Amino acid sequence: PKIIVALGKPAAIALHVPGASKKLEKIRGKFFEVTLHDKKYRVLVTYHPSRVIREKMKPYKVWYDDLCNALLA
């Protein structure tokens, strides 16, 4: 894959995203480069769908904003 989307903090930690132990708000919407099985991948960190629903966020806005911010950075 060209991009891996980590949905939530546990996914970010499992993918060894730098800074994943920090609050999700500090790392969401940014691309990180990680190495898995000797290959480099770009990982975008964002909220897990259950958190978006639980906190009554607007899914389209949250994920669209994260992707746009990451691509423009």
Q: How many CB atoms lie within 10 A of CB 54?
A: 10
Q: At 26, which helix (H) or strand (E)?
A: helix 24-27
Mean pLDDT throughout 48-73?
Answer: 83
Mean of pLDDT values over 32-59? 91
Residue 4 has pLDDT above 80, yes or no: yes
pLDDT score, position 73? 61
